[in-house]
Structure 1
């Protein structure tokens, strides 16, 4: 009787998330999300381009998400995303309490109260848009990266980064721009199309431009995470 040798199955290597590096990445993602949500409450006009005040900061959240997905895996990326939104919800509740607290009744106090209501009042709508958009976008981004890594392992990192970006940013931009549009003053289909198109283009191009930097960070983390190196040697 002849026996057929079975090919050993291998799984992609990931580091364990119980490290200081993971904590720093999650903290950075949470801070970026909270600040981006505050900035996004302001509509911005740059020539013919319509965007919001969070445009220059928000792509960093996706870059951090790519790093977490590649080094720590899909579950770690999902955990980081949920923690980021927990921070956003806490910020919204804080703003709500701040606005509700009775202020001074002089002209300066009334002016400050009105300014707070105008600036921070719409943030809840931005956070709702951010939750829907980033949850769908970042989780799909992480899922695509993990599925591609299951096939390619340590190869084709650039392809994983760019392919997952297109999927994640498209879902994120469509959902976020649709829900947040009225909060920043968009009132027509033409403005909305402008907001969606340039938002998707900007965030995607920024992530593509940062691919060399993202690769360096990922390589640096893989070398310095003992659990990642251990996972590589166990394959």
Structure 2
């Protein structure tokens, strides 16, 4: 009879199979969030002044994008790194398709009356920069989500079902920092942020805000993860084969 060594069992935490309706729903929500937040990110936003003359500089997608990371945490924890990687690249493809579609829509000949021309100008102004925002978002998203998922899954190999909240918080901090820095470096000049002070403000607020939102929602994320695990027969089957306590 083959016996499992500590090294073997430590490398095989429990995950559900991704061929389920739960995975499909979460993946669809993530793709929708990415596309909408990319459109919103074309608008520069100033909140304030808050303290004296200090204002917060951000973009129109700031309130929505953290949800993509929350959904990524759920996929990584329940379905594993390969499933998360598939979700990341699916989101990448959907966002790229949206950017190409907007470019085609803008390029198509429209009505030449005043109303048609004003609509064309509005589309060019609102959706024209989307491909650049998408590039910034995709590069940041792929790097950040990959790091987020990798850290979460590697920590799960060590802690198994324990320390879920700590694992979610640690992976969030790593992933959001990489995402925010890459995204802001590319997107800042596109939305009109050109000086160093505003750029630093943009990066710091983006990282702190998105990380804080995810931290605040960690208890909810943990509850959602536990609920999905209970409803995934393949997760229960995988978990039953794992040792109860691995240090």
Over 6 Å off, 4+ runs? none
Three-state SS of the structure 1 residue aligned to 2:190 is helix
Three-state SS of the structure 2 residue aligned to 1:103 is coil
Distance 1:72 1:183 in 2: 36
1:60-79 per-residue CA deviation (whole Å, 9 max, x = no partner) reads 00000000000000110010
| Correspondence for 2:104 | 97
Distance 1:78 1:36 in 2: 20
Report whether the alignment pairs 1:160 with 2:167. Answer: yes
2:95 corresponds to which of 88, 95, 107: 88
Distance 1:174 1:6 in 2: 42
2:238 corresponds to which of 215, 228, 231: 231
| Correspondence for 1:38 | 39
**Aligned-CA RMSD value:** 1.0
| Correspondence for 2:179 | 172
Instruction: List alignment gaps of at least 5 residues for structure 1.
Output: none
1:159-191 per-residue CA deviation (whole Å, 9 max, x = no partner) reads 100000110000000000000111111111111
Distance 1:6 1:184 in 2: 55
| Correspondence for 1:110 | 117
Three-state SS of the structure 2 residue aligned to 1:91 is helix
Distance 1:211 1:163 in 2: 11
Distance 2:219 2:165 in 1: 9
Give the paired residue count. Answer: 231
Q: 1:83 Cα shift?
A: 0.4
Distance 2:146 2:13 in 1: 18
Report whether the alignment pairs 1:208 with 2:215. Answer: yes
Instruction: List alignment gaps of at least 5 residues for structure 2.
Output: 49-54, 243-247
Q: 1:7 Cα shift?
A: 4.1
Report whether the alignment pairs 1:136 with 2:143. Answer: yes
Q: 1:116 Cα shift?
A: 0.3
Q: 1:84 Cα shift?
A: 0.6
TM-score, normalisation: structure 2 = 0.92
